[in-house]
Structure 1
């Protein structure tokens, strides 16, 4: 993934100044990918990108140095297994003038031993996570990020259509999942997840796809995603095998209205919890509030789940360029579940849906 590292470092430093953060420490993972376009092999050896207000450098295991040098011209302070990382870390902090910082932002995904190593080297420094700095930047997608997310959404749409075409009585949940995975692979994407929940299994939001046989009258939750060019997809649609089960149409309509309410509520300047409330209100008013058991959505970018989270308590102010899911659901134990999911990017006038696939129920002929 090609990125403009200098531009992103400059934007990060603006956020650091605004939040009073003197150092941002980033471990190998998606934060580093966003900033540099790569990350070294992650293992138990401390490896940190240290970004100060004026300079940046790496604490880098010797083992990874040669390969990483091909990806970046940022300076390294290397350490070998025989010596340990402490001296190299001290030298790296001195190099970027970060020894006396008042506040350090830690990559929330880094290993606890990496974090403790750094905090021990910065006695007295306050620590936070990246919500005010790198995390805030990642929530707003640029045109290149949007293009890759849109491309992946198209692949997922076509994988879902393949699943619809394949559904028949007698096949298993895993058999239908195999059709999805095969399609992702056919377009050069790596399958990431494949939830297929038939009948009562659909009432478990994160059902583990298994050997249950699809039967006539089953409602089937299909929640799938893949990854290509460093970005993911995520979509949920509903299908039935022949005639829908009793009461299905009413519940599907309620969930669809909840999706529409959330889409209407999602505007720049609105709190994320207000979008959750809009969807939840529709379902609660219809008498099914206790059966909507999860948040309304999650952000999506390099990671399939990342901020902003569309929850009942989120104080995140939605901004233009944020990408997140809207996916309310109703789950009736022992009967069926219904979830409809869209990924949207927030534009000036509201959300743009990445998928082009209707949310209508697909009825498989038997």
Structure 2
């Protein structure tokens, strides 16, 4: 991705807020401004931006990775082995140097939701003022560029194929983890063929049965699927950082009449949102498209989460489609549309598809069977 325009816009915001130095610490935001997808455990990594340069402060074990992939002006490396520790043994070695270039009392931009408390106090105790840039970055990420959308479309194609592969092989007696692996195997085969050298992220869960499908987020385990039960299969694929999501509820054997009715309400709610979401409405109004269908059926109390969320670099990201969000939606925003219904004696029901908002509505970038009779195995 060309990150130079993003950096230019960040610098404009820094000038507006009179910020002398910006520290980017959230891993998705680091990638957004540098193309550097860091693996972060216990060692601090920072992307810094000032008026003259963009820098990556990294530990020694990330040196080659950062120099090969980070779109920055300089890579500053701190070491934790005696042969090179004199060149800097902590990220603070380089941070101190940058702070020393600022006048006392200068403003330092940080993501308030990402900066460690210790680092925040360390900077403040030296007389600098912290200012939030996280909200600005969040808003920048709302609207996807043509290049970002193209990558999400590729992820959408992969995740749709993986969903189809899993559904083709499901049967009583396979485990939830088997279900995950059916689609994962296709992704692992297709990605190097279609996108050699690409990075890949996979998130998947496949709970089965009344109790486990009622948990909207639960990891797959070794439980075997039984005859005549409900399954909720959820997938995300990230290709070079950009994600798409698809989810399907299906049945092994004949669903009960009550399950058929709840499934009908769920799919009607999702289709109403897919048909109706568009730029100019608020996020709360988009949520209401699906929620009203569920409430009209008398099932509102069983729909216990928002009806959709932003998706892109993050599995879940702003904007969130929830009842009290007054944000006005814009062309180029991307969402997972996923109204859900969870009834203890019947199971959990949720379909999800990824859409890009267009000038007159939305375009779905995930495709798979969705009607009840297609999803009885």
Q: What TM-score do the two structures reach when normalised by structure 2?
A: 0.84
Match of 1:69 among 49, 67, 70: 67
Q: Distance in 2 between matches of 1:129 and 1:197?
A: 42
Give the direction of change, closer, same or farther, for the CA distance of 1:115–1:183 in structure 2 (3 Å limit): farther
Given the alignment of the two structures, is residue 108 of structure 1 paired with residue 108 of structure 2, yes or no?
Answer: no
State the aligned residue count.
Answer: 360
**How many angstroms apart in 1 are the aligned matches of 2:234 and 2:213?**
10
User: How many angstroms does 1:217 deviate by?
Assistant: 2.3
Q: What's the Cα RMSD here? A: 2.7
2:138 equivalent to 1:135: yes
How many Å apart are 1:352 and its aligned residue? 1.0
User: SS where residue 331 of structure 1 aligns?
Assistant: strand
| 2:257 aligned counterpart, secondary structure | coil
- Greater shift after overlay, 245-254 or 331-340? 245-254
1:190-205 maps to which residues of 2 (within 5 A)? 190-205=201-216
Offset at residue 93 of structure 1 (A): 3.0
Pairwise CA distance, 1:184: 2.2
Which residue, 176, 179, 192 being the options, matches 2:182?
A: 179
| 1:127 alignment partner, SS class | strand
Whole-angstrom CA distance in 1 between matches of 2:60 and 2:126:
20
- Whole-angstrom distance in 1 between the partners of 2:21 and 2:108: 7
Q: Which residue of 1 aligns with 2:262?
A: 251
Choose from 166, 170, 178 the match for 1:167.
170
Write the distance in 2 (CA, Å) between the matches of 1:142 and 1:5.
11
Structure-2 separation of matches of 1:224 and 1:75: 37
Moved more, 350-359 or 43-52: 43-52
Secondary structure of 1:344 counterpart: strand
Among residues 291, 299, 302, which one is paired with 2:313 in the alignment? Answer: 302
Shift of 1:263: 3.0
Segments of 5+ residues of structure 2 without an aligned counterpart are 192-199
Residue 311, structure 1, aligned to residue 322, structure 2: yes
CA 1:245 to 1:183, structure 2 compared with 1: closer, same or farther past 3 Å?
A: farther
Show CA shifts across 1:54-85 (max 9, x none): 54444444564455334445235555555544
- Please state how far the C-alpha of 1:230 moved relative to its aligned partner: 2.5
Residue 329 (structure 1) shift = 0.8
2:336 corresponds to which of 319, 325, 329: 325
Give runs of aligned pairs for residues 217-366 of structure 1, distance below 5 A: 217-361=228-372, 362-365=374-377
**What is the TM-score of this pair, normalised by structure 1?**
0.87
**Structure 1 unaligned runs (5+)?**
none
